[in-house]
Amino acid sequence: MTTKDTTQIIPIPPAIYVGNFGLGGCPVLFGIFKRMKEVWGDDFYEKTAWYADGFSVIFVIQLLCGHTSTQIEQGYKSVIRKMHSTPNYWTGQNIWLDMYVQYILQNEPKILSILETHPIHIGVTIPFCQHTWKDSWKSLEELYKYVKASYNIPLYCNHCETIEGEEVVYGSYSCTLEDLILVDENIFKISTNPNLSDIFCRLSTWDTYFINQEESLYNYFFGLGYESCFNEIDRNNINDRNSDDSVNKNRYRGMNVGMLWVCWIGKGIQLTYEYIVQEIIEK
């Protein structure tokens, strides 16, 4: 893949939303980051406000901590290798991912002050389809809990901790265009959800959630993200996204109702299982 120059410097949007890529589609996101870095500079992440939910939260936090593209990609690949070599189908496939997040937070002693200067707004879903943002944390433990909650898909993942006394699930599934427009009408959206993305880079459900170790597929997804971002940004119309009437008529589009059903049914199964274990089997 050859590097392409931008003939005109395009202003970075005032806010960027990074939504659902699943775990399998994250190489697409890395390709998008690469193109953004070429257009807006290595420190582009310091020049805008960030909103994220789902698995993408992890990698946006790494960006804000100043991690290089190599560090982010190698970290992702190490998690994928672990998930294949030592799967945790019964305890939750998020185990290795949780450990990776914990490793990042523990090795960034100034992360709370970093996120005060360059905040990230993390989205979670509270019962049953309400999307909510959080942008400040009192401790690493609280930040860790929110990150895990944002990418929690019940049954695929283990039962995550409650947030302020409420059960929560995957943040991206409840996010709507209205949620983003309320943040900033010129927010630049990146996601595999076509209703919540300004970059046309659609992946199949299989590509999004199936975790593949093949380097050729990784490179294909990475190139897909890079080229899609290049084509979109270089049209120089990224700040004109939400001005047409069609957007105002469809402000609640984007919510993945089907996956929300899956998540909350899965959450119910987890809670029922825990109740049976604690109240019947252990007693």
Secondary structure percentages of the chain, helix, strand, coil, to 5 = 50, 10, 40
Over residues 146-204, the pLDDT tens digits come to 999 999 999 999 999 999 999 999 999 999 989 998 888 889 999 988 888 888 777 88
pTM, rounded to two decimals: 0.90
Which token pair is 26?
Answer: 């994250």
Q: Look at 37-51, 94-108, 211-225 and tell me which has the smallest mean pLDDT.
A: 211-225
pLDDT in tens, 208-263: 877 888 898 899 999 999 988 877 665 555 545 544 444 445 666 889 999 999 99
Query: Using N-to-C axis directions, what is the helix angle for 215-233 and 26-40, rounded to 10°?
Result: 40
- Per-residue confidence (pLDDT) for residue 246, from 0 to 100: 46
User: What local confidence, expressed as pLDDT, does residue 186 receive?
Assistant: 86
Edge-to-edge strand order for the sheet containing 188-190?
A: 130-134, 120-126, 49-53, 15-18, 188-190
Q: Burial, 277: exposed, middle or buried (Cβ in 10 Å; 0-12, 13-18, 19+)?
A: exposed
Q: What's the rounded Cα separation, in Å, for the pair 156 and 153?
A: 6
- Provide the H-helix boundaries in 69-124: 69-85, 95-106, 111-117
